Amino acid sequence: MKKSIFAIAMMLTAVSASAQEVKVAEPEFINSYCILTSDSTFATLPKESGVIGKHENKVKKWSKWIGSAADIVGAGGMIGAATAGPVGGVINGVRVMGGAAGVANAAGTVSGLAGSSGMDIIFKGGHSSYSFKADGNNVRLLIKGENNETDPMDCYRIVRFKDSKKERRIQWIEFESALIGSDETKKAGYVQFEGHKYGNQSYLLSIPASEMEKGEYGIFYMSIITATTIPVGTFSVK
């Protein structure tokens, strides 16, 4: 037991030390997604908007760990997008949108994205315009928000897309932040990460090197309550 406590303490100390080593200015603009290229430099990641469409396989009945999701409307491939509600709270009401719709339209509120649970979010093109080779180090992301008072584990999801030559997609599911890193969420394409405050209004997210397989990745900001768009930062690991 003492050994376990000591190991956890050492890990937290290492994470804190790593964050303190970063000496870079915060990004200029809110909702900028950046990747650290050193302790003092970063590159800005491209932001893409996808469309919401039917899951490429029959929508599964997800297990209880996913939590409550908005209704999926079956007729004509339409989806239910929930109306505004508190972050992490019960979502009430359904508004219907036809066929595939832009993420920007579907996610007018935080619950709009929740209303896409069970559906695929699809991005054109097989690759992000930003790519790098995995080098065995953690991947560090710097994101500027309106503020950094909310736990970033509740605000962000990092996904590994299922990709082809023509598109990248992820089946959107809802789950508590405590399940990030679990076997179930990893199998669904959701990547483990850690997050901390950085500067006045930014977050520093760190993805363990062990999570960084070759492939296509996206960063979703899911805790905007009054936003009209949900920007998705993308990158490729070669």
53-63 confidence digits (pLDDT tens): 888 764 455 44
Tokens representing 23 are 């000496």
Q: What pLDDT does 216 receive?
A: 98
| pLDDT over threshold 90, residue 88 | no
Position 167 scores a pLDDT of 96
Residue 224: pLDDT band (50, 70, 90) is: low
Q: Taking Cα atoms as reference points, which of 111, 69, 63, 67 lies closest to residue 87?
A: 111
Among 144, 152, 154, 77, residue whose Cα is nearest residue 114: 154
Q: Which two tokens stand for residue 95?
A: 């508004």
- Looking at residue 68, what is its pLDDT? 37
- Quick check: 72 and 58 in contact, CB under 8 A? no
123 touches 50 (CB < 8 A): yes
**Cα 157 off chain centre by:** 2
- Give the distance from CA 31 to its chain's centroid: 13
- Report whether pLDDT(183) > 70: yes
Specify burial of residue 51 (Cβ count, 10 A radius: 0-12, 13-18, 19+): buried
H/E stretch holding 13: helix 2-21
- Segment 27-40 shows an average pLDDT of 94
pLDDT over threshold 50, residue 4: no
Statement: residue 97 has pLDDT above 50: no
pTM of the model: 0.72
